[in-house]
Amino acid sequence: MKRSLIYVVIVVAVAAIFVAKSSKNHVPQKPAGKPGAPTASSPMETIEAAAADRKPVWLLIHSTMCIPCKEMEQSASQLRPEFEGKVVFVSVIIDDPKAEPVLKKYKIELIPTSFFIDASGRVREKKVGAVLTSELRKKLRKLAEAGS
């Protein structure tokens, strides 16, 4: 009895540490537009602003809890500087109330889900599941080249 109680306490402690670390690794959405321009207040507005500015978008829909989602967040952090000004990165966390319009419009069923949206606002590709950083870099390069 004592041993099983100790295991429960350890599992709960590890889970709490995992949740605390995952909230620190969240990649916030970066607003579209030029520096100094008004920032969008929702992911949908960010996507619309990018289309108005004729900028391609990588839309990542995920949670802060799933392992593949965390991998995608790390890829986003790694690739964001390389594509700054070329591709707008939009990160949507599924339990954010502002995410609901995006989830409905793009009919999200599984996470993580990525959408590669061209400069005219048209979805060029949808990818469900984690994408390797190298593959993601290729997709973003293709999107950026088509947008320029």
Q: Which residue bears the tokens 């400069």?
A: 119
Amino acid at 104: K
Amino acid at 3: R
CA distance 121 to 118: 5
Return all residues near 112 (Cβ < 8 A) that are at least 6 apart.
60, 61, 62, 66, 68, 69, 72, 128, 129, 130
The answer to the question of residue 15 being in a domain is no
Domain of residue 63: give its range: 27-147
The answer to the question of residue 39 being in a domain is yes
Q: Count the domains in the chain.
A: 1
In this prediction, residue 18 carries a pLDDT of 44
Q: Using the Cα atoms of residue 27, residue 31, residue 34 and residue 37 in order, give the sign of their dihedral.
A: negative
The answer to the question of residue 68 being in a domain is yes
In this prediction, residue 40 carries a pLDDT of 60
In this prediction, residue 37 carries a pLDDT of 38
The answer to the question of residue 134 being in a domain is yes
pLDDT in tens, the chain (148 residues): 555 545 444 544 444 444 444 444 444 444 333 333 335 679 999 999 999 999 999 999 999 999 999 999 999 999 999 999 999 999 999 999 999 999 999 999 999 999 999 999 999 999 999 999 999 999 999 999 987 6
Rounded alpha-carbon distances, angstroms, from residue 56 to 6, 36, 38, 60, 62: 51, 20, 19, 13, 19
In this prediction, residue 3 carries a pLDDT of 57
The answer to the question of residue 4 being in a domain is no
Parallel, antiparallel or unpaired: strands 88-93 and 57-62: parallel
103: tokens are: 């989830």
The answer to the question of residue 11 being in a domain is no
CATH number where 52 lies: 3.40.30.10
The answer to the question of residue 77 being in a domain is yes
In this prediction, residue 41 carries a pLDDT of 79
The answer to the question of residue 21 being in a domain is no
In this prediction, residue 133 carries a pLDDT of 96
Residue 134 has a CB neighbour count (10 Å cut-off) of 8
